[in-house]
Structure 1
Amino acid sequence: MIDYNRARGIVSDYLKDLSGALRSQVNAPLHANPELGYQEHFAHDTITAFLERAEPKLEISKRTYGLETSFEARFGSGGPLVIFCAEYDALPGIGHACGHNLIATSSVAAFLATAHTLAQLQIQGRVRLLGTPAEEGSGGKVKLIEDGAFDPPEDVAAAIMAHPVGAHQILVKGDEVGLAAAILVANHKFQVEFHGKTAHAGGEPWEGRNALDAAVAAYNNVALMKKQTRPDDNIHGIIEDGGVTPAIIPGYSRMSWAVRSPTYERSKLLADRVKQCMEAGALASGCTVNYIDSPTYQDLRANNTLCQTYADEMAGLGNNVFLKQRMDFPASTDMGNVSYYVPTFHGTFVASTAGVPIHSPKFTTEAATDEAHVATIECGKGMAMLALRVLTDDKVATGARADFAKQ
């Protein structure tokens, strides 16, 4: 058993010294250069270049697991393994409105602080930073699981990350700076293609089969169906392609749908009902329908031991984090899939107290502030201490594995 007060001092001093470099060389450049999923080449190169300059020396692999924008950095040998997950993709049109520049920064900070402390205290244990592209809808972690990034799962004592939020989104009280046990929902995502027949809209409309009509009918069908769904179900859809000119009856249209529910099983049943609405729209308009499925996000399972340990360690660092979610926040993450595979921690930290929600242009601005960076570094300290506890405290490691087995 190590002296955890000493470890907290080492982690805090190390990240105090490193904070400026993380701000100027990771956080700010990523925010200024937002990239969509699987296109995060700047982020990949920026983070790996920073890690190559870090102490202690790390083993670094680029373009890992068949993904051009994934990477791994490794430190240590023997003992259990902790994996920090770094996200860095942005949203179309509004950049880092989900604060993934902060997620990457916090995970890099936690990983390096853990490696530094292991070296300073000469402790056995393995820690890894895994670059996880395309969280925003394309399921990068799902592909990483399939390609062995978390294998063998019995060797992974914990997978760790945290997400920035607005204070109002988790009902922060007083001096609280975050939430340990985030509860996020399952999400089935798919595109729908309707195939009809083009024709001159004015001259011979009877020769056409209107694929846009199919999409509109399907959208309205879902709107009607929503009246008979549970309050904690969420269905969102957009029309991505509805034709090119009013003079041509569209022979093709495409929609994109996200179907969320608290559990994977419920979301699958709800997605089946949504697809029936698509088929009804196709039937009514004389079109055919085709589905393009995206990776399904499973619900996030909060690990009680890891969450309590993080809250305790943040308290030891002088930060007040509350344990359990106080309100529904039906967002989704591919970290949910990880939580079904290995013991997982996915907390949140307050990056904005201005009442600004994530996935909004105003949060893009909030994610670039000095205050958000300070909160990011404090979260990184807590995650580093959580990792050290998992690696060195058998009670924590055993408890996390037992919680995972119960779930």
Structure 2
Amino acid sequence: MSQSFALHGQPLQVGISRRDITPANLEGLDPFAGTFARVHDHIHIRAMVVSNGSDTAAIVAADLIEVGDTRGLRSKIEEKTGIRADHVMIAPSHSHNTPRMGDVPAGAKARIPTQQSLRYSDEVAIKISDAIEEARASMTDAQMGISTIGVDVNVNREVYSQGSWGLGVNPDGDSEKKLTAICFRGDDQRIIAVLINYAVHSTIMLGIPELSGDLAGAVSRYVEHELGKNALAMWIPGVIGDQAPLFGLNGETGEDMDEDLRFAEDAVDAQSFIIGASVMRAIEGMHDWDKSAAISGTVDVVSVPCRKLPVPEGMEQRQVSEVELTLSTLLVGTVCLVGISGEVTTAIYRHLMREMPLRHVLVVSNANSRIGYLAGDESYDRHTQAADGCPIAKGHCESVIVRIASRQVGNLLRLATQVDEVESSSQSS
């Protein structure tokens, strides 16, 4: 595990970049239907680089269903930009109407890549690297603010019916309603970028054979339109493993595709407005802005016992005894982004939050890699959707995530505290 830290007293700088990653050729890029029929709305990557003069981190929000193992890409980014590989977090929105990127670790349960998707992956990787380089070159002095707000646009989707667990709408199930906005503004008070962390699948359009950023993409577009002046709204998905949108197709289509499309578009518009307007309200409510912050990061790739899963048509799981779980933590000021390489469920999130010594700890699902669902211990015996899609053997998933993530956050906070003490002593002398 590698770590670093930076002095709190150094002024923050932020740079941003946006790249359109809408493919020119849609053949072989739909992870569910093979080929998209057309482009419904354009998809993008959004990159932000934040620095305090001593340390620098990069965050990429991507309109993609998943990113595979990013170790090679993050190493190339380090070579090209000087930003350490363990200070780079790539977060796919997990929209099910977007292509995948890269290849997942052995043992992961994933959609089978196509030749077209692998070529597209190479193109997107170059755009991510270029966007980070452009963002770093455009950095300007900035202030950082944090705000949370309750938003009721998600619902637990684990439903027990006729003797087994499946997907549906479970209003009595656990659901995290908190949305967190991390905002960066310039000295002129203009918003430069906002990170949006919320727990919901972008599956409203699933079943419509059209390329779309779905709910996550629509929220980003709404907020960027409201902010204006080329601001970035970056969706970094939260605890999505057992969370669906309140209203959506979620793959349940009928015989009338035109009617399905109308319903899905209305559902995207309505729910993205609620989330986007809530983000704007959260930004308006920010009163405390920091001009400096510690920045540090760490990444652990942990081998955990793997189990064989049922694999439906169109998916694969390469058989190995262990599967690699990636945990990536970025500390920026008083915020910790805990990236976990799978679709984290609410039970694991609740357990993790009980162990956290910091108020603003945000889980980012599918960050820097993806192996499948990540289910809480108790769900294995119930055979929930998430448990039956988790490639980690029972008794290892929840405990390993909580133990490693808690250690990462604790270590980064201790380093930041030590620097504060040294800095205060130096200033007083």
| Structure having the larger proportion of residues in helix | 1
Highest Rg: 1 or 2? 1
The reply to whether TM is greater than 0.5 is: no
The answer to which structure, 1 or 2, has the higher relative contact order (CA under 8 A, 6+ apart) is 1
Task: Please give the TM-score of this superposition, normalised by the length of structure 1.
Answer: 0.24
| Structure having the larger proportion of residues in strand | 2
